[in-house]
């Protein structure tokens, strides 16, 4: 059992005790502990259950590579599953729960899977549950989902209590990693005057060096780290960030930093995470290396740890990992762990070294302490259980026949080191195989390329495959100088700090322990702890023909867990290479993709949540509507009132009331959202003739014309009324939400095709509040306002006829009035300065009282236009509809040689008489047709489905007519007037509707032209 | 002009920096040949300012001219003069191909001041706000999180920010959130 | 995430400030063109591995369209240039030739024109 040592623990403050709970049990740790070190201090070696077999699992590593010790942290709206105990800093009141077990960590029903493991091999699910088909959805999937998986998802009713933000930062040199290599590289780069940003994922600087020992410039590494940090902090051109992980490297020097601001101090206030969106000329990856596990049977039993991680727990947090420890290794570094353990008073039972010739000076030092070192030996097996109890030792070069069995409660293993090449590789940096250290390291000759075609990532130190302290610091200094120079800052020569560490004997590549382990052992030798993938699974995949490493990964799920195979990938592909009788470099690695380590979705979303999740566009009259019963609906990013409900009224009743009142009295619509584009210049008319299907150049100043715009494909894209302001100037109305798109469309043609045309366009949509004053009393209310103000614009039929516009005063407001109608009623659309919009609305509401004024919303707007058979972009059109389909031939100029879309409308499919065409639809029983319903015809198509002959594009209850009305596109529609066709609904009913003229109300237009 | 109300109607938030509604501001979009003598004279007459260089704003006592694109300026004039000055500019440029249009009411206008101003903008706009990179008199069009915006740095260290009126409230809340008192980055 | 320098305002804009506008230097075919010509104009696009010419708009910025030449494989940007040209400028073609001798794209190639 693990305990806290009386000595060591350079990162903890024993004067500050911290209380926390694990699975409801109160425990105590110290400031500076991680959750993992605090749990070990409390004797909690077992920290979770595995994904598939529910095997007991303990912590294996001490950093972000940890696969096992995943926790559910926090409660309520701060609950989060799958958090690593090793990267969770302890704080007072932390609540952690282990995951993937039921009913408890100690006793788990599904641990029976472990007994069934010989059936649950790679591809098991694919093979077993494919037949019979229906059972998958209803039986197998629910059971599998319950038994396999990680932490429980948060309660869907709760919202994350925290906030997040982004921050954009620009640097000449970004250094990722604050170990001694990162600090050395930063120092070299900063000396050139370059602006340098250094990111360190932990809360402490210096990386492994203080644990691993050696000297830098003749002193302990801590001394150099402190000194260098102080130097860097004093420089104006250097920014240092701890608790900030370099998470990804992307095109053109873009990189993400994930800063954890309050994870260690919840409730402190301010954002929890900050995502740094960094643009750097050059990036130095000083990301260190990760130790590899050894693949022996029972290498996942709680108490088995990576050797260097065990050393971290002793040195950094004063943890005694066990009373009796076996060290298994294929290299010299693990001997450091034996020495540290011995120094801490822990009995090192054996050092099992696979190398027949053993190691160098470090091994001798261990032997001098009286520790037994066994050469050419391996661990045959660690006995299954909730903690290590017994270790069987055998010859490495055998099948696993045990030479001896020793009692132990912890095992330290080391299979060698792999440089963290992830950030080098994210954007395309290539790797080479290092035979000496048996790892992939960056190939400096093939770096990721930037915008100028030159490399923009420089690896440094252990991340570059340099392990001795001396070589590592020299490499890092050179990397920093190289990066600064490439960023345009010729390096001043900065001598690398002089590092010294023990000479190490060459390691031996060991991918399976023992080398000829039998199948029973291989089925207990874990490669990927988190996804429960064993040596035997990868071998099975190879036998079944999965030769590509990418296929094997997906078939076995090797490396697909939340740790993305940081521990398992190299071991797994070595096993695959062996199974395929191939070499490791030939098999290659899977692709490294960002993020390096999972980052929160909150950090990705940044500030975009709640009120500022997305921009909500509001008209100047928004607040009035909000206070007066608006039933909002989104229209693009705008909010528009669907209806304005009176107290106790539902939206349908409100709409019926609004429709009738507008037809009979006076309705007001906030039409401010309509796009308004000023088009000016000597060629403006010619330009608009190309953009609209009809002729705009012949429009007279003072007059308005409805126009259609099509894409080059011929399809309708927008419509609206164009007003000619003067000889050179037009004002084009677009649909709501169309302003920016059509503005962009106009600029595109003007800048990229017709740049010789003298035309300027300006988007003035938001300059105006535009209010539609609609209904038989429309003129009366305007005349009343004018009378009250003692004059103003003449709005009579004679002075301001239909389809004309005037500038002038309406009441006390400077206004432009358009006599246009989208309702079929007498109607004025009046634009005033947006800043005066609310005042103008108030004036109309007040003056309109005696005329029965009521505001109306978008649904009433739709019904009024549908009663008149006016089309709506987005209802009657869907990007495949041409004007001819909608009977809008009158709006297609025959005089013009060309307009956008004209040539396309001559293509064979566009002139096909079989195209569906617009008609009105009247249900036989007066009910409302379902929106989007399809009409069925005779016969079936090639797939045996009933033939379709049309569809509903708009459908409403008309309060004016007291019945359902609709428009739709129907094959040969205009020739089939009076015919009844059938629309099967999704409710099982069939709706019968008669084909009629789409104009349902006031066919002669008498009401609008008064 | 008591009927006219600015979008945020005097709203203000103080945190890392102070975000405030800068009130009604006369703005004229002017498109034309920025090299033409008539245009230069018209800009000077309307604002008192010279035609600015690319990426900058030239500020005079009672007005300013900001560089929007190679053929577009944004003229800043007192709100109550905007209509008249738009007409004056249009009149002065009658002989040439140009467009002057009053956009005073189409915009929301903010002042962002205080020590944290650079950092606050740096949270919402992908622009380098390092003192060495963004200097007084610089004018930049970019985005403010999810919407288009423009801003310039004043001589007193405060930023003026312009966006479309309809998203004024969004931008105010966005800047206020970015100015949360406990969200200091500490790099500028 | 790409950076392209807008040739109109000098801003080194990142991709979130830009809008991609597809292949550059298309010749518009209108009424009077053959079905094949029009079909190609509407639908047929280059998809090269290597040198490519594109249109971009500095949408969250000065609003101007411009042309960019870049390598689709390495994302190397050879340069950006005016939108008011129906063919690549000599200057950009020379820049590409310096980096990718023997390049070809549609009817354009190293040494031609």
Q: pLDDT digit string (tens) for A7-19? A: 999 999 999 999 9
Q: pLDDT digit string (tens) for A313-366? A: 999 999 999 999 999 999 999 999 999 999 999 999 999 999 999 999 999 999
Nearest CA in chain A to B180: A270
pLDDT at A521 over 90: yes
Instruction: Identify each DSSP E strand in B115-166 by its residue range.
Output: 139-144, 147-153, 159-164
| Chain A residues close to C3, C-beta within 8 Å | 252-253, 279, 451
Q: Name subunits touching C (3+ CB pairs < 8 A).
A: A, B
- Give CA–CA dist A492/A592, Å, rounded: 34
In this predicted structure, what is the pLDDT of residue A125?
A: 67
Cβ pair A903:C30 closer than 8 A: yes
pLDDT at B1 over 50: no
Cβ pair C2:A252 closer than 8 A: yes
User: Which residue among A271, A274, A835 places its CB closest to the CB of B5?
Assistant: A835
Count CB neighbours of A616 within 10 A. Answer: 17
Q: What is the mean pLDDT of residues C54-74?
A: 97
Q: What is the mean pLDDT of residues C54-65?
A: 97
Q: Give the mutation candidate from C71, C75, C83, C95 for the A interface (greatest A CB count, under 10 A).
A: C75
A651's tokens: 């939206």
| Chain C residues close to A744, C-beta within 8 Å | 19, 57, 59
Q: What is the mean pLDDT of residues A124-150?
A: 70
Q: What is the mean pLDDT of residues A941-953?
A: 95
* Residues of chain A numbered 452-511 and touching chain C (CB < 8 Å): 452-453
In this predicted structure, what is the pLDDT of residue A107?
A: 81
In this predicted structure, what is the pLDDT of residue A498?
A: 97
Residue A25 CB contacts under 8 Å (≥ 6 apart), including other chains = none
Q: pLDDT digit string (tens) for B62-120? A: 999 999 999 999 999 999 999 999 999 999 999 999 999 999 999 999 999 999 999 99
Q: pLDDT digit string (tens) for A869-896? A: 999 999 999 999 999 999 999 999 999 9
In this predicted structure, what is the pLDDT of residue A141?
A: 72
Could you tell me where the DSSP H helices lie in B48-167?
82-92, 117-122
Strand A347-353, strand A373-375: pairing: parallel
CB of B143 less than 8 A from some CB of C: yes
CB of B69 less than 8 A from some CB of C: yes
Distances (CA, A) of A837 to A80, A630, A844, A849: 47, 17, 11, 19
Nearest CA in chain C to A909: C35
Q: What is the mean pLDDT of residues A440-455?
A: 96
Distance to chain C for A897, nearest Cα, Å? 7
| Chain B residues close to C65, C-beta within 8 Å | none
Count CB neighbours of A92 within 10 A. Answer: 13
* Residues of chain A numbered 861-900 and touching chain C (CB < 8 Å): 897-898
Distance to chain C for A307, nearest Cα, Å? 40
Distances (CA, A) of A554 to A248, A425, A909: 23, 20, 45
| Mean pLDDT, chain C, integer | 96
Q: pLDDT digit string (tens) for A61-88? A: 999 999 999 999 999 999 999 999 999 9
Torsion of CA A923, A924, A927, A932, to 10 degrees: -30
Q: Cα A385–A387–A390 angle (5° rounding)? A: 80
The verdict on pTM exceeding 0.80 is yes
Q: pLDDT digit string (tens) for A543-587? A: 999 989 999 999 999 999 888 899 999 999 999 999 999 999 999
User: Which residue among B99, B105, B177 places its CB closest to the CB of A833?
Assistant: B105
Q: A767-792 burial, b for 16+ CB within 10 Å, e for fewer?
A: bbbbbbbbbbbbbbbbbbbbeeeeeb
Cβ pair C2:A449 closer than 8 A: no
CB A257 within 8 A of CB A247: yes
Q: What is the mean pLDDT of residues A604-620?
A: 96
Q: What is the mean pLDDT of residues A447-474?
A: 97
| Mean pLDDT, chain A, integer | 95
- Give CA–CA dist A967/A953, Å, rounded: 6
pLDDT at A628 over 60: yes
C interface toward B at CB cutoff 8 Å?
8-11, 14, 16-17, 59-64
Distance to chain A for C112, nearest Cα, Å? 23
CB of B163 less than 8 A from some CB of C: no
Q: What is the mean pLDDT of residues A959-978?
A: 97
**A306 secondary structure, DSSP code:** E
Distance to chain C for B1, nearest Cα, Å? 32
CB A884 within 8 A of CB A905: yes
* ipTM of the shown complex: 0.97
Cβ pair A755:C84 closer than 8 A: yes
Q: What is the mean pLDDT of residues A471-484?
A: 97
| Chain C residues close to A166, C-beta within 8 Å | none
Tallying the residues shown for chain A, one arrives at 1010
Nearest to A17 by CA among A72, A88, A93: A93
Q: pLDDT digit string (tens) for B125-158? A: 999 999 999 999 999 999 999 999 999 999 999 9
Cβ pair A614:B146 closer than 8 A: yes
Distance to chain B for A165, nearest Cα, Å? 7
Nearest to A56 by CA among A96, A113, A123, A4: A113
Q: What is the mean pLDDT of residues A75-103?
A: 93
Q: Cα A892–A895–A898 angle (5° rounding)? A: 75
CB A767 within 8 A of CB A833: yes
Distance to chain C for B57, nearest Cα, Å? 13
pLDDT at A268 over 90: no
Residue B79 CB contacts under 8 Å (≥ 6 apart), including other chains = B1, B4, B23, B24, B25, B26, B104
| Chain B residues close to C9, C-beta within 8 Å | 54-55, 67, 69-70, 141
The rounded percent of chain A whose pLDDT value lies above 70 is 98
| Chain B residues close to C11, C-beta within 8 Å | 55, 140, 142
In this predicted structure, what is the pLDDT of residue A869?
A: 96
Distance to chain B for C34, nearest Cα, Å? 37
* Residues of chain A numbered 417-446 and touching chain B (CB < 8 Å): none
Q: C4-40 burial, b for 16+ CB within 10 Å, e for fewer?
A: bbbbbbebebbbebbeebebbbbebbbeebeeeebee
In this predicted structure, what is the pLDDT of residue A147?
A: 64
Distance to chain A for B109, nearest Cα, Å? 13
Nearest CA in chain A to B82: A833
pLDDT band at A933 (very low <50, low <70, confident <90, very high): very high
Distances (CA, A) of C54 to A438, A623, A985, C75, C95: 45, 44, 47, 12, 16
**3-class SS of residue B161:** strand
Cβ pair A812:B104 closer than 8 A: no
Q: What is the mean pLDDT of residues A446-465?
A: 97
Q: What is the mean pLDDT of residues A200-225?
A: 97
């Amino acid at each position: 059992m693990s305990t806290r040592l009386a000595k060591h623990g350079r990162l903890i403050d024993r004067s500050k005790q911290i209380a926390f709970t694990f699975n409801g049990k109160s425990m105590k740790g110290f400031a500076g502990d991680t959750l993992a070190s605090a749990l070990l201090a409390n004797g909690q070696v077992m920290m979770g259950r595995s994904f598939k077999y529910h095997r007991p699992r303990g912590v294996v590593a001490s950093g972000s590579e940890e696969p096992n010790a995943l926790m559910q942290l926090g409660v309520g709206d701060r609950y989060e599953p799958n958090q690593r105990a090793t990267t969770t800093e302890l704080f007072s009141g932390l609540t952690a729960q282990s995951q993937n077990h039921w009913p408890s960590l100690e006793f788990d029903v599904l641990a029976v899977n472990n007994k069934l493991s010989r059936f649950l091999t790679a591809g098991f699910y694919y093979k077993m549950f494919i037949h019979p088909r229906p059972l998958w959805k209803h039986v197998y999937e629910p059971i599998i989902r319950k038994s396999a998986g990680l932490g429980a998802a948060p309660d869907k009713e709760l919202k994350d209590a925290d906030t997040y933000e982004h921050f954009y930062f620009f640097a000449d040199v970004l250094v990722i990693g604050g170990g001694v290599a990162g600090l050395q590289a930063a120092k070299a780069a900063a000396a050139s005057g370059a602006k340098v940003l250094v990111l360190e994922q932990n809360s402490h600087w210096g990386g492994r060096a203080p644990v691993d020992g050696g000297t830098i410039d003749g002193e302990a590494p801590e001394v150099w780290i402190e000194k260098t940090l102080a130097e860097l902090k004093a420089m104006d051109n250097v920014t240092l960030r701890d608790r900030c992980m370099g998470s990804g490297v992307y095109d053109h020097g873009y990189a993400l930093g994930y800063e954890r601001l309050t994870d260690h101090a919840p409730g402190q206030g301010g954002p929890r995470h900050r995502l740094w969106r960094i643009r750097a000329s050059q990036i130095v990856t000083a990301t260190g290396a990760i130790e590899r596990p050894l693949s022996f049977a029972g290498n996942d039993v709680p108490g088995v740890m990576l050797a260097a991680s065990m050393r971290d727990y002793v040195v950094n947090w004063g943890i005694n990992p066990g009373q009796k420890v076996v060290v298994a290794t294929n290299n010299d570094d693990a001997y450091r762990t034996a020495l540290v353990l011995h120094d801490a008073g822990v009995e090192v039972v054996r050092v099992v070294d696979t190398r027949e010739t053993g190691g160098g000076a470090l091994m001798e030092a261990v032997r001098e302490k009286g520790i037994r070192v066994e050469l050419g030996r391996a661990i045959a097996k660690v006995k299954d259980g909730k903690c290590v109890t017994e270790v069987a030792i055998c010859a490495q070069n055998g099948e696993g026949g045990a030479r001896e069995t020793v009692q132990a409660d912890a095992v330290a293993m080391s299979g060698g080191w792999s440089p963290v090449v992830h950030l080098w590789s994210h954007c395309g940096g290539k790797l080479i195989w290092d035979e000496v250290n048996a790892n992939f390291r960056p190939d400096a000759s093939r770096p990721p390329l930037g915008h100028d075609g030159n490399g923009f990532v420089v690896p440094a130190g252990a991340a570059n495959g340099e392990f001795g302290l001396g070589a590592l610091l020299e490499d890092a200094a050179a990397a920093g100088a190289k990066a600064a120079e490439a960023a345009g800052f010729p390096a001043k020569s900065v001598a690398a700090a002089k590092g010294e560490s023990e000479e190490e004997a060459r390691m031996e590549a060991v991918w399976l322990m023992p080398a000829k382990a039998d199948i029973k052992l291989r089925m207990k030798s874990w490669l990927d702890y988190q996804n429960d993938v064993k040596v035997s699974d990868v071998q099975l995949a190879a036998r079944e023909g999965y030769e590509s490493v990418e296929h094997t990964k997906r078939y076995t799920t090797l490396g697909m867990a939340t740790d993305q195979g940081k521990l398992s990938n190299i071991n797994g592909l070595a096993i695959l290479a062996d199974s395929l009788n191939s070499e490791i470099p030939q098999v290659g690695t899977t692709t490294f993709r960002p993020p390096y380590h999972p980052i929160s979705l909150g950090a990705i979303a940044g500030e975009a949540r709640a009120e500022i999740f997305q921009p909500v566009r509001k008209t100047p009259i928004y607040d009035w509507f909000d206070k007066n019963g608006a039933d909002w609906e989104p229209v693009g990013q705008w909010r528009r009132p669907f209806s304005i409900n009176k107290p106790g009224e539902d939206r349908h009743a409100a709409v019926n009331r609004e429709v009738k009142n507008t037809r009979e009295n006076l309705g007001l619509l906030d039409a401010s959202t309509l796009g308004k584009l000023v088009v000016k210049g000597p060629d403006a008319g010619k330009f608009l003739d190309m953009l609209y299907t009809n002729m705009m150049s012949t429009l007279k100043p003072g007059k308005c014309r409805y126009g259609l715009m099509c894409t080059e494909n011929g399809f309708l894209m927008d419509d609206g009324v164009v007003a000619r302001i003067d000889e050179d100037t037009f004002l084009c109305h677009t649909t709501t939400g169309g302003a920016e798109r059509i503005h962009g469309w106009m600029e595109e043609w003007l800048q990229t095709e017709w740049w010789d045309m003298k035309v300027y366009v300006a988007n003035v949509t938001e300059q105006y509040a535009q209010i539609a004053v609609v209904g038989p009393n429309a003129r009366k209310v305007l005349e009343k306002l004018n009378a009250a103000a003692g004059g103003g614009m003449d709005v009579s039929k004679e002075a301001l006829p239909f389809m004309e516009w005037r500038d002038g005063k309406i009441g006390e407001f400077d206004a432009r009035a358009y006599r246009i109608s989208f309702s079929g009623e007498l109607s004025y659309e009046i634009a005033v300065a947006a800043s005066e919009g609310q005042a103008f609305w108030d004036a109309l509401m007040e003056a309109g009282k005696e005329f029965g004024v009521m505001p109306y919303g978008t649904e009433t707007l739709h019904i009024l236009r549908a009663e008149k058979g006016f089309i709506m972009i987005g209802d009657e059109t869907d990007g495949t509809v041409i004007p001819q389909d909608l009977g809008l031939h009158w709006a297609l100029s025959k005089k013009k040689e060309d307009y956008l879309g004209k040539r396309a409308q001559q293509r064979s499919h566009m002139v096909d008489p079989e195209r569906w065409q617009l008609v009105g639809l009247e249900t036989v029983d007066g009910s409302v047709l379902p929106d989007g319903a399809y009409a069925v015809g005779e016969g079936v198509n090639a797939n045996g489905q009933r033939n379709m002959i049309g569809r509903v594009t708009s459908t409403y209850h008309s309060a004016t007519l007291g019945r359902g009305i609709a428009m739709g596109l129907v094959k040969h529609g205009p020739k089939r007037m009076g015919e009844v066709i059938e629309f099967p609904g999704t409710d099982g009913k069939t709706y019968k509707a008669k084909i009629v003229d789409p104009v349902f109300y006031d066919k002669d237009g008498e009401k609008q032209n008064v | 002009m008591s009927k006219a109300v600015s979008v945020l109607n005097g709203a203000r938030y103080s945190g890392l920096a102070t975000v405030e509604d800068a009130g009604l501001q006369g703005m004229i979009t002017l498109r034309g040949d920025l090299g033409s003598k008539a245009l230069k004279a018209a800009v000077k007459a309307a604002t008192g300012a010279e035609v600015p260089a690319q990426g900058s704003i030239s500020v005079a006592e009672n007005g300013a001219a900001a560089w929007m694109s190679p053929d577009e300026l944004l003229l800043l004039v007192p709100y109550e003069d905007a209509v008249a000055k738009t007409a004056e500019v249009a009149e002065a440029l009658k002989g040439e191909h140009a467009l002057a249009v009053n956009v005073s009411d189409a915009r929301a206008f903010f002042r962002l001041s205080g020590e944290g101003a650079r950092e606050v903008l740096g949270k919402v706009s992908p622009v380098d706000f390092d003192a060495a990179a963004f200097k007084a008199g610089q004018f930049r069009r970019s985005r403010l999180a999810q919407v288009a915006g423009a801003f310039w740095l004043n001589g007193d260290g405060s930023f003026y920010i312009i966006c479309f009126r309809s998203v004024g409230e969004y931008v105010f809340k966005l800047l206020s959130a970015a100015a949360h008192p406990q969200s200091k980055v500490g790099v500028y | 995430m790409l950076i392209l320098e807008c040739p109109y305002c000098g801003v080194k804009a990142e991709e979130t400030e830009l809008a991609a506008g597809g292949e550059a230097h298309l010749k518009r075919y209108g009424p009077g063109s053959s079905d094949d010509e029009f079909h190609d104009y509407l639908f047929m696009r280059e998809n090269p591995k290597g040198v490519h010419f594109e249109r971009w708009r500095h949408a969250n910025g000065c609003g101007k369209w411009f042309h960019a030449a870049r390598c689709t494989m390495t994302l190397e940007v050879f340069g950006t240039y005016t939108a008011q040209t129906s063919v690549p400028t000599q200057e950009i073609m020379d820049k590409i030739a310096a980096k990718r001798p023997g390049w070809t794209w549609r009817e354009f190639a190293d040494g031609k024109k």
